[in-house]
Structure 1
Amino acid sequence: MTAGLSNQTDADSRIITIDTTRVINRQQSHYGVIDIGSNSIRLVVYDDLSRAPFPRFNEKSMVALGAGLDADGRFTDETIARALHAIRRLSAIARAMKVERIDVLATEATRRAKNGKDLIDAIRESTGLETITLTGEQEAFYSAHGVISGFFKPMGMMGDIGGGSLEVAEVIADRVGERMTSMPLGALPVTRKLEEGYSATKKWIDEILSESLPPLLTNPVFFAVGGGWRALARIHIAMNNPTIKVVHGYELPAKDVRALAISIAKMSPEEVAALPDVPSRRIATLPASALVMSRVLKKLAPDRVAFSAYGLREGWLYKQLDEEEQYRDPLVEAALAIGLPAARVPAFSEALALWTENLFPGETQNDKRLRLAVCALTDIAWREHEKIRATDSFLRLLQFPFIGLSHPERAFISVAILARYGGKVDDMVKDAVSNLMTSSELRRAEILGRALLLGHRFSASVPEILKQARLRIDADAVRLEILDAGSIPDSDAVQSRLRQLAKATGLEGAEIVTVSE
């Protein structure tokens, strides 16, 4: 994977800030989505209808609606019965969890079935839930918004492979481009087509792509959505054992993904089953998903593939938000949701954000959101033993299910929090992140962490005390300027933390001075 943080520029004027009162006083309202797909029916219950929702519950049933059509293209009675059984269970669970709103979305199989309305009517009669059947273009639209929701200003082409269809759309920062399409290249129809032979299936896929797939004209990045394609990422992670094993945001050269996809597309079920970390429910259809991936990448020719855990459901959720909520930063919002309730003094993160505002001259919008995320997480481990706080926080944050960040940015946050807890940026840490961060980015993360450590120590995590001091990093020394020396004198512990910060910056001087406003 390529080292280095995002080089996104300040293309908009969105507000990225820490507002303690808004976060602490927010009343959560559980929200659920039931997704009736061609292969599975899934319920996800989110903790809130917000910019960075966390799943509280996630369950799917492999009903295989797409395979449950008779010769006339109608759902069989048995298929409808299986679907109703699954939906009744999921509906009962959601209501028991006191989910205040449940949206039911049906996709390709339901809209294709001649008696799809019978299933929708049966769901209403059995559960009282109304089902929305999405068109292929709507599927593409909402899946693309899922990528917009899960990444920071993504640019490229999104592809979402489901059981019955493949949706493709442009993503352009915070909006979906005009070019989007839905094609009958889901895992189930391609699996059936493979019975006619590999070469014939490949030719069939290429013909459909040639007719329907728009060219990649934005950034050369392909965002891969859907369980079949996430399975490819899981297998690659298991084969290569990278430091960060989170699928969302896992990014690879397109040539590597295509090579893996071509290999799996030609495998027997027994060979697929032997792959590391392959989901058992994907064994039968994974060669089909892999073949579609290889042909899409050949056609689009992107430089890189980024895997997304966010798709249709999250895009639907995102579009239910008002414009102000949509425009909040997902990383900062998630960090606030995790960090502030766990902190001894929730308002201290906001104070640290102001205190470090001028720490890095020329800070970009992306730099700022990373710094604020670190400030929000600065007190997540205060209850843990001091000997394990740094390392445990580092390892936990490397794998934590944040959204809106790349794996290098995840490493930056982890190193900064390790340094905030006084951990050593030693060979173990450097080896863990060496393929994710440059040496200058590693140094920047350590500087931020040591500055936060100093702020906590000087002020005892009290915002009013932190306001009595400010940081200056000059050419010869790092200086902690005390605005009112009579109020809070320094200590040996404060001086020690200041020297640690100076060492991180490469300076020998570390001074505590009294200044007047």
Structure 2
Amino acid sequence: MRANANKNKRRRTQFGPAKNSKQRLYGAVDLGTNNCRLLIAKPMGFGFRFTSSFSRIVRLGEGLNASGRLSDKAIDRTISALSVCAAKLKELRVVKSRSIATEACRRAENCDAFIDRIDRETGLSFETISYEEEARLALLGCQSLLTDGLPYALVFDIGGGSTELTWARRNQVNGFEILDVLSLPFGVVTLAEGCERPDIDRPEYENMVSEIASHLPPFCQRNKIHKQVGDGQVQMLGTSGTVTTLGAVHLNLPRYSRSLIDGLELDFGSLDRATQMLSRLDYKRRAEVPCIGKERAELVVPGCAILEAIRRSWPVGKLSVADRGLREGMLMELMADDGVPIVGNPAERTHLEADAKPPPNKVH
């Protein structure tokens, strides 16, 4: 797979500089196995304020496991979504942007031809990044939520085609340095495609959890994570559609609200209850749950299985939910390259008290 050789090419986009330097806008496009996402923001204080966003489920990795290639239909869906992203970047005169592709493009035989077509049809210059770079950007975008003051952090990102786990240590300047990264070949799309039907029974769910968990011991042992967890020295943070969805289910939200989810703290008991509720529902009833819908109904239970394998392996007891990650990490770097003093945005919400009781879940 190829990546842009010279990162300095990102210092100026084809759309030119903004007229007012005080209102310089920056853009970040993240193309994953399941979603295409865009964020546009401007510096604000020591963080930034979003001025525009876009997200569309494109299922770029659909059928990739079987064929090893991106399908024509998936490519067409993705190009359509990226055309919207390009139009927004141009309309708002974004001065600097970065566009990245992750697991689906890392694995696809026809990735280079796909990247070339994106360039021709949308004008966007994409780079296919490594899983190490993916983990680094996710941590950078999320680390302002690691506020417990503990020396270690276990950060995970459950994607469509893979799951990245990052083991990090707090440094002297209140940031984090990465000690190790593990990329698992399991994502919500790949697991869902491996199931014969969208309704996953308990034995099949447990098999998923066991298979995922079997890949974790070497990562745990070489970093002595169990010891640090036992000593109460580890904070866990999750950034993915799985954890944000479980947060919304836990709060019984009638519609998704980032301001209520980003920075939410969930204990493992609450996660167990939300997981059990969703796994008991068939596909049709899961699709009726607010904040899930038809496009995510078959993906949320595989995501729960990945999360459960992580939680069983490292019983920290609670985790912080991040509705942020790769795009925010890219934005921070683009702004820092321009000399903007930036440390990241605080949580969108004040986390719930440990003994707060959410309203009961109701599924009609």
What TM-score range do you get, normalising by the shorter chain? 0.7 to 0.9
One-letter code aligned to 1:205: I
Displacement of 1:299 in angstroms is 0.6
Structure 2 unmatched runs, 5+ = 1-19, 198-203, 357-364
**Compared with structure 1, are the counterparts of its residues 223 and 203 closer, same or farther at alpha carbon in structure 2 (3 Å cutoff)?**
same
Displacement of 1:124 in angstroms is 1.4
Other-structure match for 2:139: 144
The within-5 A match list for 1:421-500 is: none
TM-score, normalization: structure 2?
Answer: 0.76
| 1:162 is the counterpart of 2:159 | yes
Structure 1 residues 371-392: Cα deviation after superposition (integer angstroms, max 9, x where no partner)? xxxxxxxxxxxxxxxxxxxxxx
Correspondent of 1:273 among 274, 277, 287? 287
The within-5 A match list for 1:359-398 is: none
| 1:103 is the counterpart of 2:98 | yes
Other-structure match for 1:113: 108
Distance in 2, matches of 1:323 and 1:85, equals: 30
Correspondent of 2:117 among 118, 122, 128? 122
Displacement of 1:129 in angstroms is 2.1
One-letter code aligned to 2:160: G
Other-structure match for 1:64: 59
Distance in 1, matches of 2:339 and 2:324, equals: 17
Displacement of 1:258 in angstroms is 3.1
The secondary structure found in structure 1 opposite 2:286 is: helix
Displacement of 1:104 in angstroms is 0.7
One-letter code aligned to 1:407: H
Other-structure match for 2:272: 258
The secondary structure found in structure 2 opposite 1:232 is: helix
The secondary structure found in structure 2 opposite 1:208 is: coil
Distance in 1, matches of 2:89 and 2:338, equals: 28
Correspondent of 1:309 among 311, 314, 323? 323
**After TM superposition, what 4+ stretches of structure 1 lie above 6 angstroms from structure 2?**
323-327, 433-436
Does structure 2 conserve the Cα–Cα contact (< 8 Å) formed by 1:140 and 1:169? yes
Distance in 2, matches of 1:311 and 1:154, equals: 20
The secondary structure found in structure 2 opposite 1:249 is: coil
The within-5 A match list for 1:332-371 is: none
Displacement of 1:406 in angstroms is 4.0
Distance in 1, matches of 2:285 and 2:48, equals: 37
Other-structure match for 2:309: 295
| 1:403 is the counterpart of 2:347 | yes
Other-structure match for 2:360: none
Displacement of 1:323 in angstroms is 8.7
**Compared with structure 1, are the counterparts of its residues 133 and 329 closer, same or farther at alpha carbon in structure 2 (3 Å cutoff)?**
closer
One-letter code aligned to 1:177: I
Structure 1 residues 296-339: Cα deviation after superposition (integer angstroms, max 9, x where no partner)? 101111121110112111122223343997865546xxxxxxxx
One-letter code aligned to 1:294: E
One-letter code aligned to 1:57: S
Distance in 2, matches of 1:404 and 1:330, equals: 12
Displacement of 1:139 in angstroms is 1.1
Displacement of 1:259 in angstroms is 3.6
Other-structure match for 1:362: none
Other-structure match for 1:181: 182
Say which is worse superposed, 108-117 or 49-58, in terms of deviation.
49-58
| 1:204 is the counterpart of 2:214 | no
Pairwise CA RMSD: 3.2
Structure 1 residues 26-62: Cα deviation after superposition (integer angstroms, max 9, x where no partner)? 8121111111110011111113487422222221221
One-letter code aligned to 1:175: F
**Compared with structure 1, are the counterparts of its residues 105 and 294 closer, same or farther at alpha carbon in structure 2 (3 Å cutoff)?**
same
Displacement of 1:154 in angstroms is 6.2
Distance in 2, matches of 1:168 and 1:234, equals: 23
Other-structure match for 1:31: 26
One-letter code aligned to 1:207: S
Displacement of 1:248 in angstroms is 0.9
| 1:47 is the counterpart of 2:29 | no
Does structure 2 conserve the Cα–Cα contact (< 8 Å) formed by 1:266 and 1:287? no
Say which is worse superposed, 182-191 or 317-326, in terms of deviation.
317-326
Structure 1 residues 173-201: Cα deviation after superposition (integer angstroms, max 9, x where no partner)? 40232111111221111212343933432
The secondary structure found in structure 2 opposite 1:67 is: coil
Displacement of 1:126 in angstroms is 1.8
Structure 1 residues 405-463: Cα deviation after superposition (integer angstroms, max 9, x where no partner)? 7437xxxxxxxxxxxxxxxxxxxxxxxx9968xxxxxxxxxxxxxxxxxxxxxxxxxxx
**Compared with structure 1, are the counterparts of its residues 405 and 51 closer, same or farther at alpha carbon in structure 2 (3 Å cutoff)?**
farther
**Compared with structure 1, are the counterparts of its residues 226 and 254 closer, same or farther at alpha carbon in structure 2 (3 Å cutoff)?**
same
Displacement of 1:239 in angstroms is 6.9
TM-score, normalization: structure 1?
Answer: 0.55
One-letter code aligned to 1:164: G
**Compared with structure 1, are the counterparts of its residues 76 and 252 closer, same or farther at alpha carbon in structure 2 (3 Å cutoff)?**
closer
One-letter code aligned to 1:230: T
One-letter code aligned to 1:188: V
The within-5 A match list for 1:63-82 is: 63-69=58-64, 71-82=66-77
One-letter code aligned to 1:253: D
Distance in 2, matches of 1:80 and 1:273, equals: 26
**Compared with structure 1, are the counterparts of its residues 143 and 272 closer, same or farther at alpha carbon in structure 2 (3 Å cutoff)?**
same
Displacement of 1:272 in angstroms is 1.7
| 1:89 is the counterpart of 2:69 | no
One-letter code aligned to 2:39: V
Other-structure match for 2:361: none
Displacement of 1:255 in angstroms is 2.8
Displacement of 1:72 in angstroms is 3.5
Does structure 2 conserve the Cα–Cα contact (< 8 Å) formed by 1:258 and 1:297? no
Displacement of 1:212 in angstroms is 4.3
One-letter code aligned to 2:78: A
Distance in 2, matches of 1:113 and 1:184, equals: 14
Distance in 2, matches of 1:135 and 1:100, equals: 25
Other-structure match for 1:192: 193
Correspondent of 1:232 among 246, 251, 261? 246
Does structure 1 conserve the Cα–Cα contact (< 8 Å) formed by 2:118 and 2:124? yes
Other-structure match for 1:419: none
Distance in 2, matches of 1:70 and 1:160, equals: 20
One-letter code aligned to 1:186: G
For the pair shown, which has the larger CA radius of gyration, 1 or 2? 1
